[in-house]
Amino acid sequence: MDTKTLMEWSAKYHTPNYGRTPLVLVRGEGTRVWDSDGKEYLDFTTGIAVTGLGHCHPVVTGAIREAAATLLHVSNIFHNAPQVHLAKLLVEHSFADRVFFCNSGAEANEAALKVVRKYAKENLATDRYEVIATNNSFHGRTLATVSATGQPKYHHGFEPLMPGFKHVPYNDLRAMERAMDSHTAAILVEPLQGEGGVNIPDDGYLPGLRKLCDESGALLVFDEVQTGVGRTGKLWAYEHSGVEPDVMTLAKALANGIPIGAMLCRERVASALTAGSHGSTFAGSAFVTSVALATLTTVIGDKLPQRAAERGRELMDGLRTLQKTQPVIKEVRGLGLLIGVELTKPAAPVMDACRDAGLLVLTAGEKVVRLAPPLIVDSADCKRALDILGSALSAGAK
């Protein structure tokens, strides 16, 4: 099938909800992908922070092959060994005591929202159901998670939204404190906002939220769907803050591209999820948990968070050097390999120019170019990305 026909059929047969780049990607290996014309690209999008180990990592491919030939799926009315091993590994390497598996980031947040409501009603007060989230946040596309999301552009047309959510400015402890009342069941935040523009809070923000929750009995939920699994230079982004949440959600990079989500929580919170109270058909299948187990074991064993921190520093140093000659760069911010380059002009044309020159990057909001390379990226690829981005920025400045 030729590329032109594929794109015509895509436009004809898909619902039109994605603004797609005019590329058909056919193959990936490590930090590279190739399009249907054979053109090679350096992939600094990683499926939006998903393929942390790069494309077709041999350990992941091996786990997929083996799991596919052993056991794909059995219901959660039975036990399956890889699911148990993955839960144990997650618990051993995080604050959490218990894990609930699901299939996406939105579902992980749905599970978190359900568990905090049930926990608060049963343990605090029957009218404690409200979740306070933040402006510019992103938590998913289901009706509950889109209601939790603090960006009106994702709400339009889907109203009435789910009741039980409030939004306050991100990184504003006083606003959070003012918003909390006798109905507050939980605070839900990203330790650093990804989709909202790669926004990093002040050092005191997450500890301050922890304190507010401790004082009021509300639960602290960190959405680490984008920031988890090594992306920010620690296994979990909350480790930068010195405080731990009561609930954490994961998805994206956990199985390097095979759909999975997870909601991790403390024992007392988990106890609200009594038998039959929540579940999912596909969740935590032997297949996906085998792949996640291989992924997480590699991320931890190969010390990839540390590597992400080092490469992230190199990239950010390079971007700040670029900023000196490129006044179009307003600010460079990031943690590890989740980096935002805020421009004084729209980011989309820069993204397009990078693509034409062989580098795939993301945007986050209108004016932020977002870089999310795989954790395995090396210094030479970072240098190449900086060269391409620099040229794209100077071409646009003329």
Binding site for ligand PLP (CB under 6 A): 48, 104-106, 109, 138-140, 190, 194-195, 223, 225-226, 251
Residue 252 among the catalytic residues: yes
Q: How far apart are CA 375 and CA 230, in angstroms?
A: 8
- Closest to ligand PLP by CB, 194 vs 318, is 194
Contact criterion met (CB below 8 Å) for 52 and 299: yes
- Closest to ligand PLP by CB, 226 vs 298, is 226
Catalytic residue among 100, 252, 367, 381: 252
CB of 213 to ligand PLP, least distance (A): 19
- Closest to ligand PLP by CB, 318 vs 334, is 334
CB of 122 to ligand PLP, least distance (A): 26
CB of 193 to ligand PLP, least distance (A): 8
- Closest to ligand PLP by CB, 148 vs 304, is 148
CB of 349 to ligand PLP, least distance (A): 23
- Closest to ligand PLP by CB, 195 vs 246, is 195
Catalytic residue among 95, 100, 138, 165: 138
DSSP 2-66: -HHHHHHHHHHHS-TT----S--EEEEEBTEEEETT--EEEESSHHHHT-TT-BT-HHHHHHHHH
Structure tokens at 133: 């989230």
Residue 223 among the catalytic residues: yes
Catalytic residue among 223, 287, 367, 381: 223
CB of 69 to ligand PLP, least distance (A): 27
CB of 283 to ligand PLP, least distance (A): 13
CB of 106 to ligand PLP, least distance (A): 3
**Cα atoms found within 13 Å of the Cα of residue 306, Cβ hemisphere only:** 5
Residue 138 among the catalytic residues: yes
Contact criterion met (CB below 8 Å) for 252 and 109: no
- Closest to ligand PLP by CB, 134 vs 298, is 134
Contact criterion met (CB below 8 Å) for 198 and 368: yes
Write 171-176 long-range contacts (CB < 8 A, 24+).
171/199, 171/201, 171/202, 171/205, 173/204, 173/205, 173/208, 173/209, 173/212, 176/132, 176/208, 176/209, 176/212
- Closest to ligand PLP by CB, 30 vs 312, is 312
DSSP 94-163: SS-SEEEEESSHHHHHHHHHHHHHHHHHHHT-TT--EEEEETT----SSHHHHHHS--GGGTTTSPSPPS
Structure tokens at 70: 């052993």
Contact criterion met (CB below 8 Å) for 184 and 218: yes
CA angle, corner 205, sides to 200 and 206, nearest 5? 95
Q: How far apart are CA 12 and CA 234, in angstroms?
A: 43
**Taking CB positions, which residue lies at the least distance from ligand PLP?**
105
Closest CA to 139 of 147, 149, 124, 129: 149
User: Active-site positions?
Assistant: 138, 223, 252
